[in-house]
Amino acid sequence: IGKSIAIEFARAGADVAICSRKLEHLEPVAKAIKDLGRKTFAVAVDVRQEDQVKGMVERVVSEWGRLDVMVNNAGASFRARPEDISVNGWNTVIQINLNGVFLGCKWAGKQMMQQKTGGVIVNISSIAGVYGSTMMSHYGAAKAAVITLTRELGTAWGRQGIRVNCIAPGPVETEGYLDVLKQAGPDGKKTYDKVAARVGMGRWGKVEEIAWPCVFLASDASSWMTGETIVIDGGPSPREMDEG
C-alpha cells in the first residue's frame, strides 16, 4: 500500500520522500517516482525510534524547505489468540502501529505549525480497528487507537490549518500478503476466496483503491474534512446484511 501511495502522490504532481526500515525495499519505488518526473529521496527509518522519525521530517525540510503532507503507513502484526500474545509481542505491535503513527503526527505537526501555512496528515488504520479481530486483538487495539488519535488531532490542530484524517482499509491485495497466500498453496487459495466471499463487492481491494482516497484527503477537494476515518472495505457481504 505504501508503494502505491507514494507513486500516486507523484502521479498527482508531488515530490515524495519515502522511508522504510530497509533501504533496498525503496529502490523500485524511488525509480517509479523519478520516472514520473518527480523528486524523491529514501531514508531508513524505524518508526519506533523518535529520533529517526524526527530526522526524517528534518531531512524533508532540509531538501525541499517545507513539509506539506505526511502519510503514516507503517504497520506490522502476527496472528495469535489474545491469551497467547506475549507482552513483548503486544508491545512490538503497539509500538509500530500506534506509537509510530503518533511520532509521525507529532513531528509533522510541529513542522507544519512552524510553517504557519497548514498541512495534511493521513493515517492508515484498518477495519480491524473498526470491527475487531479475534486473531489479532493487539493489532485491532492499535488501529482503533489510531482512529481515535486522528479524531483528537483533527480537533486539536484544526484552527492551525492542519487537517488530520484516516483511512481504514479492508482486505487488500498487497505484494506481501499475496506472496504468503501463494506459498500456502491450495490452502492459500481457499483463504483468498473465503475472504473475498465476505466482501459485499465479492473481491479483494487493489492497492490503488487505497492510494487514490489518500491523495484525495491530501487535496483541496477535502479541505473541510478533518478528524474523520474513511472505511474502504468493499462493503458488507449480502449475507451479513440479510442476517442483520
Residues labelled as active-site residues: 139
Q: Grid cell 506459498 — which residue? A: 183
Coil, strand or helix: which one is 101?
Answer: helix
Query: Can you tell me the distance from the alpha carbon of 100 to that of 209, in angstroms, rounded to the nearest whole number?
Result: 24
Query: Can you tell me the distance from the alpha carbon of 82 to that of 138, in angstroms, rounded to the nearest whole number?
Result: 8
In the chain, what's the furthest Cα-to-Cα distance?
56
237 near 197, Cβ under 8 Å? yes
Query: Can you tell me the distance from the alpha carbon of 157 to that of 118, in angstroms, rounded to the nearest whole number?
Result: 9
Joined grid coordinates for residue 212? 487514490
Residues 6+ apart with CB under 8 A from 236: 200
- Residue 182 corresponds to which amino acid? K
For the chain, how far is it from start to end, CA to CA, in angstroms? 32
108 near 70, Cβ under 8 Å? yes
Query: Can you tell me the distance from the alpha carbon of 46 to that of 69, in angstroms, rounded to the nearest whole number?
Result: 19
Beta strands in the chain (DSSP E): 16-20, 40-44, 69-72, 119-124, 162-169, 229-232
What does the DSSP 8-state code read for residue 219? S
